[in-house]
Each structure stands twice: as structure tokens, then as C-alpha cells.
């Protein structure tokens, strides 16, 4: 069979070869994708590259897996799709990455340049001339390679866009002819990210003055702490201020949950809300105080407020702030620590009192006790270095609210966009990064992508999938009962999940309420994927919008 000529046999590489060489130069280790007639050149070049190619069963998974890889590692997650339906299939996952600010690079293809110039409209295969417009709605940056020699440059540019400032997904399309043609230029050395610049000393001094003067300061830490790798600096600031720390969904693990200053509970928990309200200053780090974390901006956050954010506009978007330090969190917190006068402020006592009262309330509640204990038990049997993914599902909401974490990049939850069906496909990326992935999802969300069991088996990915089966869209059952007093369109026929997994060659078990620890221990011993099915029907936690403790009209911009 004739083989394609490799780059070494030719003096000049093709655009596809330069693309792959550029990904190598950027340090990319794995790409997720599906081949199509338009992108075959890319897969051909990948076949000669040390980059691992993981072929998935739906393009949405390709992008979710890239997202899971990026969240688990802090590095660029890359997916490759083909023109038109392939690219469009990944759109919801790009939207999740955009809202959650995850550096994902989606590379797709496009008709050849001549067809594009003539805007042929002749219904060529996969024709999708406005593909960039489609992706613009869900990506941070979109671009097309226009010149044959610009492949490397554009790939480098797209990856920079994914990391600059607040981060997010980039979409790059390459016309067919430019992928196939030989090009003269080789790869671009990865340019350093545009520097954010050091924090302004004057702002740091004002921030420090406010915080030093506080008697009961508190800290609100978001996903920006993890993006910046600023956990150690956050601990230093918290200790100097003796201030309790609450983390958002994305901030989970950014401050170690076992630290005496950690609240280790969501801000929605009334005891935590009360602690924040009673505080007399707030330091907000790497968070835009979005609606889902603040109960629709009803959260009574104390003044004065000091914010550290890589984009000042994000810090001011939802709540007004007295001082905004626009800088990378790591640098800003290090500079701040130097200006703080360490003082005892009973921070650990305040945090402990809130934790004890909240735990007693959760344990004492008939509807909350069981799911709360489930999360506790899960934490006890899942190793700390595993990567846990919670789906949009009642058990996922419980995990997202109450799972404790000691380190950042140990947890993912799709509350960028609220995309059901995220957790299992994203786990493919985390597992490809060498992490044990533990997925907590519902029966409905798992059925978005059960075909990826084939991917996980084929690639021997260490994934534990815990499907909590309530025979339907349980969260929506709750919503409907609250709003309409009856349910509709939420009861689902479900397969025998254990048999389904077995059909793919994955190990599987069905367990009762007491079997969690044994089943997790068993699954951790499996090299490839395994599935645990558990029947349970739980009430959703206080972090879900219909259950928010704070009601009433939110202030326009508190
Ligand atoms: C893409 C998408 N479609 C629909 C929804 C709405 N939604 C949120 S949770 C949910 C139910 C999920 O069912 P399941 O996975 O079984 O979890 P359960 O709520 O039953 O625990 C639905 C339909 C969503 N968030 N995202
Ligand atoms: Mg369900």
C-alpha cells in the first residue's frame, strides 16, 4: 500500500506537519479528536509524532476531554475536529470552556481557499463557510490560517490567546489546501505570554492598609488562584491576616481544606454566609463573584472589599470593590504578604465555629444527612491525588458543594455553562494526563456519552464512573415540583448500566448504600475504566438555585 511521504523524505513539510510540529514545540502531549476526510492530513502527521492521539466517539467528547486535561494539568488541552458537523458537535463543550476560562485549543479544518474566496455555496461536503461565526459565540478567540506559511504562527497565536489574561478556548480553522501544501516556514518557538506586569505598589499599599485595619477579615478565593498557582501565597496571606477562607466551586482545593482557616464549605451554607456578613473586610482573589456562587448576587459581602484579579473588569463586574489590584494572583499575594502586619484575629475559631454548626445542621437534617454523608464517605475512600469530576446532577451538586480538597487541580465541575453530560467525557482528558479520574454523575448525564466507554477501554484509561441512578432527570423533578406541583418529561427508561459497561469491556458493579467504600477500592485496582451503579434519590443541596437560602431581589450591583 502506498504510504504518504513523511516529512523527512521531503525537503519541505506540509501545513499539517507544521501544525503538529508546532503543537510539539508548545509541549502538547495528547490530542483528542475524530478524523474526517478534511482533516486526515493532521491525523497522518500525528501518526509520526510522539503526541498521543486519543480518538473519541463524538466531537463533544474531544473538546470536553481537552477541557478535562487542561483543568487537571493547567496546560493547553487540544482537540481536532473536521469541518462543519465535526466542529459544530464540539460547540457546547467550547462554551463550557469559555465560561469556565479553560485553555482549550480546538483545531478544525475548512474548505479550500478558492471555494472560500468565491463563497461557493455549492453544497460541498461539510460546507460551513461561517464556521468561525458559529464558534465565535462560544470561544474566546477564533482565527483562520490565511497564508500557507502562517500555520505555525497561527497555532502559536491561538495557544497564547487561550492563556492570556482570563484564559479561555481558542478555535483555529485551516483551509484544506493550506494543510496539504508544502510550506517553507518551520515552527515558531513558543513566545512567552504577554506579561501582566507587577502589581502596582500603590494599590498593594492601599489593599494592605484596609486589611491591616480589619478586626474580622475574611477571604473569598476563586478559580484564579489555581490558574495562577497561587495557593502557597494565599495560605501566607490568610495566616498573616488570620482570616477564614471560603472557596468557590472553581476554587475548590485552592486553599487546603484541612487548614484551620479553611471553611471547607460552600458560601451558600448559611453558617458561612453569616460569617462573611459579620466580617469587617473582604479580600476577593481570582473570582468575579458570579451569580451561582453568590446566590444571584444576594450574598451580603462585607465592605471594604479588596480584589485581586488578572482582569480588573472581572473584579468589578458583579460587586463593587474599594481597591482592585489588577495582577496575577501569585505576584499580587506575595507583594501583599510583605505589607501585612500579622495579628491574631480569632480566624481559626471563627472558621471552626461555622464548620461545627454547619456540620451539625447538615447531619441533623432528614433530607440532607444521607447525601452529605455520601460525600464524606466518598472523600474518605477516594485518594487525595485523584481527579474528581462532578456532573450537573443531584449527586454532582452535593460533591461540588461539600467535597473537600487539599490541592488545586483536583476537581472539575461544569459550572461555567452548566453543561450536563460533561463529567465522564472530561474524565478522559484527566485520565490521559495520568490522573486517576473519579466521575460522579446521574443516569441522565451519563447517557449523553456512554459510547466513550469504548474510548476508555481502548486507551486503558483509569476512570471510575459512579452513576447515581434515580431513573430520571432528578434535579428537574425537584424544580418541577417546586414550580408546578407535578412532574413531566423527567422519568427515564434506563439501561442496565452494569451490563452496558460490560458490553464495552469495562468492569462494572451495582451496589447498595453500604457498598460505596468496597466498590471504590475495587475500582481503584482496575487499570482501565470501571463503572459503579448505585440507586439513590436525594434532595438537591442548598447550592442549587431553587434551594438558595437567600431569597428576594438581588441588588443591582451590591
Ligand atoms: C446540556 C444540558 N441540558 C440540560 C440541562 C438541564 N439539566 C440539569 S440537571 C438535569 C438532570 C440530570 O439528570 P441526571 O444526570 O440523571 O442527574 P439527576 O438530576 O437525576 O441526579 C438536566 C436535564 C443542562 N444543565 N445541560
Ligand atoms: Mg437521574
Tens digit of each residue's pLDDT (9 = 90 or more) over 431-483: 999 999 999 999 999 999 999 999 999 999 999 999 999 999 999 999 999 99
Q: What is the pLDDT of residues 333-371, one digit of tens each?
A: 999 999 999 999 999 999 999 999 999 999 999 999 999
Mutate to test the pocket of ligand 1, among 90, 420, 422, 536 (most ligand atoms within 8 A of CB): 420
DSSP string, 339-350: H-------HHHH
What burial letters (b/e) apply to 357-385, b meaning 16+ CB within 10 Å? bbbeebeeeeebeebbebbeebbeebeee
Instruction: Tell how far the Cα of 474 is from the centroid of ligand 2, in angstroms.
Output: 5
Atom of ligand 1 nearest to the CA of 394: 21
Q: What is the mean pLDDT of residues 519-525?
A: 98
pLDDT at 2: 43
pLDDT at 555: 67
Answer for the pair 509, 498: CB distance below 8 angstroms, yes or no. Answer: yes
Give 368's strand partners.
none
pLDDT at 398: 98
Smallest CA separation from ligand 1 atom 23, residue: 473
As a 3-state breakdown, the chain gives helix, strand, coil percent values, each rounded to 5, of 40, 15, 45
474 lines ligand 1 (CB under 6 A): yes
Ligand number nearest CA of 471 is 2
Mutate to test the pocket of ligand 1, among 138, 401, 475, 540 (most ligand atoms within 8 A of CB): 475
391, pLDDT greater than 60 = yes
What burial letters (b/e) apply to 540-549, b meaning 16+ CB within 10 Å? bbbbbeeebe
Q: How far apart are CA 234 and CA 430, in angstroms?
A: 25
Strand ranges for 145-199 from DSSP E: 170-175
Smallest CA separation from ligand 1 atom 4, residue: 420
8, pLDDT greater than 70 = no
Strand, helix or coil for residue 24: helix
Answer for the pair 42, 179: CB distance below 8 angstroms, yes or no. Answer: yes
pLDDT at 178: 95
pLDDT at 127: 87
Q: Tell me the helices (H) and strands (E) count for the chain, helix number first.
A: 24, 17
Residue whose entry in the numeric block shows the C-alpha cell 497555532: 155
445 lines ligand 1 (CB under 6 A): yes
pLDDT at 229: 96
Q: What is the number of other CB atoms lying within 10 angstroms of the CB of residue 215? A: 10
Mutate to test the pocket of ligand 1, among 63, 415, 416, 444 (most ligand atoms within 8 A of CB): 444
Q: Which residues contact 31 (CB under 8 A, 6 or more apart)?
A: 23, 46, 51, 52, 53, 54, 66, 78, 79, 80
Peptide bond into 304 cis (omega under 30): yes
Q: What is the mean pLDDT of residues 294-298?
A: 96
Q: What is the pLDDT of residues 304-326, one digit of tens each?
A: 999 999 999 999 999 999 999 99
Instruction: Tell how far the Cα of 469 is from the centroid of ligand 2, in angstroms.
Output: 5
Answer for the pair 443, 421: CB distance below 8 angstroms, yes or no. Answer: no
List Cα–Cα distances, 61 to 34, 330, 428, in angstroms.
Answer: 10, 32, 8
Atom of ligand 1 nearest to the CA of 441: 15
261 lines ligand 1 (CB under 6 A): no
187, pLDDT greater than 70 = yes
Answer for the pair 316, 288: CB distance below 8 angstroms, yes or no. Answer: no
Q: How confident is the model at residue 3 (pLDDT cuts 50, 70, 90)?
A: very low
192, pLDDT greater than 70 = no
Instruction: Tell how far the Cα of 471 is from the centroid of ligand 1, in angstroms.
Output: 12
Q: What is the pLDDT of residues 216-228, one digit of tens each?
A: 999 999 999 999 9
Range from 71-80, 103-112, 132-141, 179-188 carrying the lowest mean pLDDT = 179-188
Q: What is the mean pLDDT of residues 254-274?
A: 98
Q: What is the pLDDT of residues 10-45, one digit of tens each?
A: 679 999 999 999 999 999 999 999 999 999 999 999
Answer for the pair 468, 442: CB distance below 8 angstroms, yes or no. Answer: yes
Instruction: Tell how far the Cα of 444 is from the centroid of ligand 2, in angstroms.
Output: 5
Q: How confident is the model at residue 1 (pLDDT cuts 50, 70, 90)?
A: very low
What mean pLDDT is reported for the chain?
95
Q: How far apart are CA 218 and CA 297, in angstroms?
A: 18
152, pLDDT greater than 50 = yes
pLDDT at 5: 52
Q: How far apart are CA 399 and CA 341, in angstroms?
A: 37
Atom of ligand 1 nearest to the CA of 446: 15
Q: Is the pTM of the predicted complex or chain greater than 0.95?
A: yes
Backbone region of residue 556 per phi and psi (left: phi > 0; alpha: psi in -120 to 50; beta: other values): alpha
Q: What is the number of other CB atoms lying within 10 angstroms of the CB of residue 435? A: 23
470 lines ligand 1 (CB under 6 A): yes
Q: What is the mean pLDDT of residues 422-437?
A: 98
Ligand number nearest CA of 395 is 1
Residue 61: phi and psi, rounded to 5, are -65, -40
pLDDT at 9: 54
The helix or strand, by DSSP H or E, that contains position 463, with its residue range, turns out to be: strand 463-469
Atom of ligand 1 nearest to the CA of 469: 16
Atom of ligand 1 nearest to the CA of 392: 9
Range from 49-58, 157-166, 266-275, 523-532 carrying the lowest mean pLDDT = 157-166
Range from 115-124, 150-159, 342-351 carrying the lowest mean pLDDT = 115-124
476 lines ligand 1 (CB under 6 A): yes
444 lines ligand 1 (CB under 6 A): yes
420 lines ligand 1 (CB under 6 A): yes
Q: How confident is the model at residue 197 (pLDDT cuts 50, 70, 90)?
A: confident
Atom of ligand 1 nearest to the CA of 478: 19
70, pLDDT greater than 60 = yes
419 lines ligand 1 (CB under 6 A): yes
Please identify every residue whose CB atom is under 5 Å from ligand 2, which is an ion.
Answer: 442-444, 470, 474
Residue whose entry in the numeric block shows the C-alpha cell 413531566: 488
Smallest CA separation from ligand 1 atom 6, residue: 420
246, pLDDT greater than 90 = yes
Amino acid at each position: 500500500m502506498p504510504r504518504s511521504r513523511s516529512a523527512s523524505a521531503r525537503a519541505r513539510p506540509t501545513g499539517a506537519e507544521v501544525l503538529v510540529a508546532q503543537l510539539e514545540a508548545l509541549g502538547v502531549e495528547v490530542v483528542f479528536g475524530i478524523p474526517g476526510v478534511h482533516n486526515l492530513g493532521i491525523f497522518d502527521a500525528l501518526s509520526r509524532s510522539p503526541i498521543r492521539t486519543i480518538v473519541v466517539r463524538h466531537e463533544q467528547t474531544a473538546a470536553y476531554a481537552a477541557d478535562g486535561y487542561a483543568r487537571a494539568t493547567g496546560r493547553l488541552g487540544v482537540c481536532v475536529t473536521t469541518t462543519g458537523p465535526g466542529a459544530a458537535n464540539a460547540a457546547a463543550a467550547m462554551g463550557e470552556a469559555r465560561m469556565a476560562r479553560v485553555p482549550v485549543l480546538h483545531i478544525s479544518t475548512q474548505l479550500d481557499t478558492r471555494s472560500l474566496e468565491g463563497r461557493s455555496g455549492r453544497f460541498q461536503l461539510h460546507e460551513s463557510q461561517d464556521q468561525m461565526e458559529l464558534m465565535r459565540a462560544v470561544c474566546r478567540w477564533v482565527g483562520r490560517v490565511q497564508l500557507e506559511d502562517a500555520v505555525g504562527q497561527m497555532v502559536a497565536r491561538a495557544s497564547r490567546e487561550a492563556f492570556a489574561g482570563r484564559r479561555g478556548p481558542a478555535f483555529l480553522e485551516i483551509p484544506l489546501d493550506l494543510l496539504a501544501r508544502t510550506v517553507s516556514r518551520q515552527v515558531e518557538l513558543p513566545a512567552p505570554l504577554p506579561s501582566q506586569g507587577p502589581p502596582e505598589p500603590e494599590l498593594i499599599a492601599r489593599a494592605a492598609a484596609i486589611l491591616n485595619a480589619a478586626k474580622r477579615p475574611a477571604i473569598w478565593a476563586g478559580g484564579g488562584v489555581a490558574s495562577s498557582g497561587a495557593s502557597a501565597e494565599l495560605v501566607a496571606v490568610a495566616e498573616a491576616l488570620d482570616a477564614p477562607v471560603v472557596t468557590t466551586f472553581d476554587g475548590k482545593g485552592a486553599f487546603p481544606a484541612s487548614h484551620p482557616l479553611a471553611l471547607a464549605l460552600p458560601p451558600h451554607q448559611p453558617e458561612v454566609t453569616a460569617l462573611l456578613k459579620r466580617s469587617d473586610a473582604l479580600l476577593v482573589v481570582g473570582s468575579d463573584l458570579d451569580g451561582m456562587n453568590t446566590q444571584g448576587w444576594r450574598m451580603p459581602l462585607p465592605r471594604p472589599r479588596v480584589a485581586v484579579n488578572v482582569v480588573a473588569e472581572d473584579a468589578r463586574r458583579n460587586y463593587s470593590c474599594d481597591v482592585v489590584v489588577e495582577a496575577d494572583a501569585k505576584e499580587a499575594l506575595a507583594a501583599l504578604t510583605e505589607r501585612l502586619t500579622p495579628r491574631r484575629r480569632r480566624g481559626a475559631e471563627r472558621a471552626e465555629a461555622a464548620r461545627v454548626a454547619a456540620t451539625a445542621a447538615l447531619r441533623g437534617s432528614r433530607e440532607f444527612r444521607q447525601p452529605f454523608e455520601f460525600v464524606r464517605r466518598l472523600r474518605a475512600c477516594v485518594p487525595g491525588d485523584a481527579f474528581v469530576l462532578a456532573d450537573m446532577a443531584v449527586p454532582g451538586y452535593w460533591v461540588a458543594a461539600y467535597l473537600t480538597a487539599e490541592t488545586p487541580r483536583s476537581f472539575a465541575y461544569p459550572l461555567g455553562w452548566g453543561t450536563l453530560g460533561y463529567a465522564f467525557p472530561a474524565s478522559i482528558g484527566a485520565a490521559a494526563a495520568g490522573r486517576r479520574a473519579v466521575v460522579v454523575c446521574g443516569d441522565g448525564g451519563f447517557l449523553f456519552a456512554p459510547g466513550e466507554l469504548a474510548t476508555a477501554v481502548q486507551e486503558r484509561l483509569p476512570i471510575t464512573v459512579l452513576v447515581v441512578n434515580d431513573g430520571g432527570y432528578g434535579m428537574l423533578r425537584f424544580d418541577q415540583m417546586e414550580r408546578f406541583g407535578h412532574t413531566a418529561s423527567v422519568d427515564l427508561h434506563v439501561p442496565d448500566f452494569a451490563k452496558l459497561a460490560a458490553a464495552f469491556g469495562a468492569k462494572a458493579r451495582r451496589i447498595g448504600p453500604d457498598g460505596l467504600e468496597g466498590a471504590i477500592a475495587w475500582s481503584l485496582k482496575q487499570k482501565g475504566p470501571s463503572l459503579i451503579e448505585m440507586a439513590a434519590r436525594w434532595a438537591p443541596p442548598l447550592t442549587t438555585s431553587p434551594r438558595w437560602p437567600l431569597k428576594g431581589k438581588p441588588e443591582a450591583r451590591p
